[in-house]
Amino acid sequence: MTNTKPRDVQAIYIADETFALRSRSWNRLRFEIEYALEKGTTANSFLIQGKFLALIDPPGETFTAIYLKELRERINIGDISYVILGHVNQNRIETLKALLEINSRITFICTNPGAIALRQSLGEKVKIQVVRGEETLDLGKGHILKFIPTSTPRHPDELCTYDSKTQVLYTDKFFGSHICGDQVFDEGWSHLLGDRRYYFDSTMANQVRQVEAALEKLTVMPAVFYAPGHGPMLKHGLHELVNLYRQWSEAQKQQNISVALLFASAYGNTTTIANALARGITKAGVAVELINCETAEPEEIKIAIEKSSGFLIGSPTLGGHLPTQVQTALGIVLSTATKSYQAGVFGSYGWSGEAVDIMSGKLKDAGYTLAFEPIRIKFTPTEATLQVCEETGTDFAQALKKAKKVRTTLNPGSTVEQAVGRIVGSLCVLTVKRGEISTAMLASWVSQASFNPPGLTIAVAKDRAIETYLFEGDRFVLNILEQGKQLRKHFMKKFAPGEDRFTDVQVEPTEGGLILPDGLAFLECRVMQRMECGDHWLIYAIVENGKLLQSNGLTAIHHRKTASNY
C-alpha cells in the first residue's frame, strides 16, 4: 500500500561539527532493481563545518528544493567551499546546478570519471579538484579528509571519504539499504539484515572482485561508524556487516559457473537493464562478472570471457551506431568466446535502436546462438520490464546449469535422497499482486507452523521470480488446490519471462494477491520472518483471512520419488 507521507529532510547532528541531512521519500519506489522491496529510501548527505564548509553527496533533483531549504536553516550556502561527490549521476546534476547558482565559487571533489561527467553537464568552467589516489584535504578545526577511490563497474567514479577527527567513514554506495524511516543508526541491526542483503545481492553481487578490493581499503580506517549514501548508518552492527559482505562475496566466487555481462550506458538506462539481468542470474546460483566497457581494459574483458560459460552484451544507440567501447568489446568477444557459449543481447534507446540489431547480427553471423530474443527498451525501463529482465537472467542462468549438467543434490538416486523425497506437502498456488505486477508459483513445500497466531511456512527457491515480493511485511494469497482438479496443470508449465501467469484463469483480486475461486481454499497472509536455507528462502507468515471454497473437497497432495526436484 502506497505511503502518502510527503518527502522531507531529517537533519541530525552526528559528530563534531557534522550534520546528516537525510532526504526521505516514503513512497514505495521501484525505478531500479535494488528498490524492488518498495520501502522508500533515504538519500543521505553530510555537512562538515570546519574552517571551510564541505558538503558530501547532495541528493537528486526530487529533493532539491526541500534540501536547499533545510541547508539554509543551518548555513549560508555562499560559504560552502567544497562539494564532495561519492559518484556523479544525472539525477544529482540539478541539485548541483542549484548550488552553483547560489555559490559559483564551489569546488567539486571527485575522481576523474566523475570530473568528465561533471564537465559534460555543468560546463568546462566548473571548478573541480580531481582525486587520482588516496589524497587528503584539510578543512580546518582538525577535519582532515582522506579520499579513497573505490571504482566499480557500475560506478567507475566511486569515491569514499574518511574524516580523521570524527573517525566517520562516508561509504556512498557501500553498505547501504533502501528503507525509509526515522532510524538514523542501526540499533537492533539484525532486523535490517534482510534489507541490507537484498541491496548487496542487487548492487554488489555482480562485482565482488571490486567489492573485495574496496573492503581492503576501507576496513583499515579506524572508523567509529560508517555513513552510507542510503539507509541507516552503521555503528552497532558495523563489524558484522563487513564480515557478511566478505562472506557473501566469497560465496559468489565459489560458484562453478559464471557469466560475463558487458555493457556501456549513455544515460543509465542500459545499466539498469544490466543490473536486472545480473540480479536474475545470481538468484539462480550463477556468478556474474559485470564489465563496464567504458572503463575496462581489453585484457580484463578477454579474461572475463575466457573464464565464463556464457556472455551478455548491452549497449545504448548513439547516432544509429554502437559506442566505440562496445565495438571493441564485441570484437574481443568474437575472437575469444567459443561458438558453444550461451549468448544474449540487450540495449536501450531513445529514437532508434540499431545497436541491438548490430550486435545480434554480428553474433549470429559469427555462428553464435542467442539464448533469448534481444531485449530492446525505449527510454527508461518500467517496473514490468525490469521484472522481465530479471526473469530472463534467471532463465539464462538455468540454461547454463542445464548445459553444464549441474546437480543441486548429492548422491543422486541414493536411498537418502529417495527417503527425503517421501516428505509430502499440499499443492498450493502462491499469488502476489504489486501495482502492475501480478505473479504466481506452484508451491508444495508448505506446512502449518503455529496455532496462535495461525501461521505457516513456505519454502521458496531463490531463483523464483516471486521471492522478491516475500519480505517482512509483504502480503500474499496462498490458494490451496483441490485433488483431481486441472488447475495445477496450468501452473506447472514453464512461463516465459514476463508472461501473464493468469491467462484463462479466473481470479479475484485482494490486498496483496489474487484468489483462485476454483481452488479448495485460500488464505490471505502477511510475511513475518524470512530465513535463508541453502538454495531456498523459508518464509514464515501469519494468516489474516481465509475461506474454505469447497467443503467436500480433498487437498491436492504432491508425491515425489526423489529429493532432487519438485
Report which DSSP code applies to 496.
P
Distance, CA of 522 to CA of 545 (rounded, Å): 8
| CATH, domain 255-404, list 3.40.50.300, 3.20.20.150, 3.40.50.720, 3.40.50.360 | 3.40.50.360
On the question of pLDDT at 538 being above 80, the answer is yes
pLDDT given at position 198: 94
Q: How many CA atoms lie within 13 A of 470 on its CB side?
A: 32
Tell me the per-residue pLDDT of 314-362, one tens digit each, with 9 for 90 and over: 999 988 899 999 999 999 999 999 999 999 999 999 888 899 999 999 9
**CA end-to-end distance (rounded Å), the chain:** 33
DSSP letters of 452-469?
A: TTTEEEEEEETT-GGGGG
Q: Give CA separation, 345 vs 249, 340, 430, 505, in Å.
A: 26, 16, 32, 33
Contact predicate 40/180, CB 8 Å = yes
Provide the CATH number for the domain formed by 8-251 in this structure.
Answer: 3.60.15.10
Tell me the per-residue pLDDT of 425-479, one tens digit each, with 9 for 90 and over: 899 999 999 888 899 999 999 999 999 999 999 999 999 989 989 999 999 999 9
In terms of residues, how long is the chain? 566
Contact predicate 108/118, CB 8 Å = yes
| Closest to 162 in 3D by CA, of 144, 149, 175 | 144
Contact predicate 134/218, CB 8 Å = no
Tell me the per-residue pLDDT of 113-142, one tens digit each, with 9 for 90 and over: 999 999 999 999 999 999 999 899 999 999
Distance, CA of 488 to CA of 43 (rounded, Å): 45
Backbone angles phi, psi at 305, to 5 degrees: -65, -45
Domain ranges of the chain: 8-251, 255-404, 415-558
pLDDT given at position 2: 45
Residue 405 or residue 327, greater confidence: 327
On the question of pLDDT at 148 being above 70, the answer is yes
Residue 66: burial class (beta carbons within 10 Å; 0-12, 13-18, 19+): middle
Contact predicate 230/178, CB 8 Å = yes
Residue 336: burial class (beta carbons within 10 Å; 0-12, 13-18, 19+): middle
Contact predicate 46/19, CB 8 Å = yes
CATH architecture classification, 415-558: Roll (2.30)
The residue behind cell 540454461 is 399
Which residues, listed in sequence order, are joined to residue 146 by a DSSP beta bridge?
Answer: 136, 162
Instruction: Give this prediction's pTM.
Output: 0.89
Distance, CA of 143 to CA of 130 (rounded, Å): 19
On the question of pLDDT at 243 being above 50, the answer is yes
Q: Give CA separation, 268 vs 51, 263, 445, in Å.
A: 37, 11, 40
Distance, CA of 558 to CA of 470 (rounded, Å): 23
Distance, CA of 167 to CA of 143 (rounded, Å): 10
